[in-house]
Structure 1
């Protein structure tokens, strides 16, 4: 069974790539971020024609998240957003798939450490952490995946000196990421590849992808119960090479059973 996350940076623009990737890949559960679509604009007909079912939490311009599952799998007990947190931005969607609690998240970017959006990012992460804690208490088999907008360590950054104390790499952000791991989650890519230099996002400018100058900010975090079933986690760079690609690549976790 495969779980994947992909920030598609506009599902309207990237729908052909998503459908192609689903046709080419044996993924069973896909978390999408940055739909940039209103709730009533989601392309359900095309998704279902590709053999998938979906739940989504749409928002135009910037946000929006979705979970896709390959039929006959189903999405059960769907939760939109973070319960109890009055957040106007639609960034989280949760459902149970074949006994696994799946949380898809498009985490706040923060813009810059001196931006008013930066405190919102840290507050938002605190709310996410509490929500994940509650979910883990109810669901031993759990995966939290998405665009975290945090590179957890210098090994996840092409130029650590240039990014030091900058947004995505600042000490408070990395502490927020560490707080999620302290709940009992494991960064599945680093679990399998502790020393590999690999990125999941490359700026569109200055041929950053061709030069492999990127950041690893898309993650698949798994509970201990799911880690016991995990066999691999990879970053699929192929879609990043396609025409009109997202600036992110999918990250794919494989588990047994």
Structure 2
């Protein structure tokens, strides 16, 4: 099965891009971030015509997350990250689909820093770490996919050149340290695992010809618990999607998992 994550950066404005990619890539499960639309205006009809069921959490003009499943409706498990009842931003949704527990997340960007937005990013990260610990070691496969807004290292596999981003929240030691603590629970960074040292960018800024120069960042990640990691077959980035007309500034990242072994009775 194929699981993908895609920061669509405005689902209604880019629904044609989304549908074209769904038709070409045929993922079984898709995590979408940055819907930038209210729940009422999510383009469900178009997505259903493409053969996908969907659950979503919208927010007008900002944020928003969704999980799509081919030929079925995802079974919602959780809406919203626990740990702060006052947090109303639509950044987390969790569902079971095709035999896998999938968490879709849009971690706060954190800019400008220092300041309240960076503080919120780190606090949200702590809540994610606490929640992820509850299912990191489950016997069933779990995938946490989304826009983590963290460049894990200064290496060329994660960023074209860190020099222009040194003050950005995506590269700060606190952000990276939180990401490392999350991985230390037993999660596998699927793309880094399969493509060590290879540039696998998922984001190219709209400015200064970042796309044309392949001046990208790797900030969209698919983390697998040990049960899912045992089934990891392939991973990649559909970078050509970034070159389409009126694109998102992200490209879809994806994994494929081997079929679960059947146990004899």
Interval containing the TM-score (normalised by the shorter chain): over 0.9
Match of 2:169 among 140, 161, 167: 167
The CA distance in 1 between the partners of 2:35 and 2:166, in whole Å, is: 30
What do residues 115-167 of structure 1 show as CA deviations (whole Å, max 9, x unaligned)? 32001100000001111111335563100010010000112111123323531
Considering fraction of residues, name the structure with more helix: 1
What do residues 8-60 of structure 1 show as CA deviations (whole Å, max 9, x unaligned)? 00001110010111011121000000001111111111111110000000001
Aligned residue for 1:70? 70
RMSD: 1.3
1:61-140 matches, within 5 Å, as 61-71=61-71, 73-86=72-85, 87-138=87-138, 140=140
**Structure 1 residue 62, shift from structure 2 partner:** 1.3
Structure 1 residues 125 and 16: alpha-carbon distance in aligned structure 2, compared to 1, 3 A threshold: same
Normalising by structure 2, we get a TM-score of: 0.93
Q: Which runs of 4+ in 1 moved over 6 A?
A: none
Aligned residue for 2:48? 48
1:90-239 matches, within 5 Å, as 90-138=90-138, 140-155=140-155, 156-239=158-241
Aligned residue for 1:33? 33
8 Å CA contact 1:74, 1:98 repeated in 2: no
The CA distance in 2 between the partners of 1:74 and 1:61, in whole Å, is: 26
What do residues 56-92 of structure 1 show as CA deviations (whole Å, max 9, x unaligned)? 0000111100000000x33124311113422121100
What do residues 165-200 of structure 1 show as CA deviations (whole Å, max 9, x unaligned)? 531001000011111101110110011011102211
**Structure 1 residue 4, shift from structure 2 partner:** 0.2
Aligned to 1:168, the other structure's residue is in SS state: helix
8 Å CA contact 2:235, 2:255 repeated in 1: yes
8 Å CA contact 1:229, 1:256 repeated in 2: yes
Structure 1 position 245 matched with structure 2 position 247 = yes
8 Å CA contact 2:52, 2:73 repeated in 1: no
Aligned to 1:196, the other structure's residue is in SS state: coil
Gaps (5+ residues) in structure 1?
Answer: none
Of stretches 241-250 and 130-139 in structure 1, the one that deviates more from structure 2 is 130-139
The number of residue pairs the alignment matches comes to 256
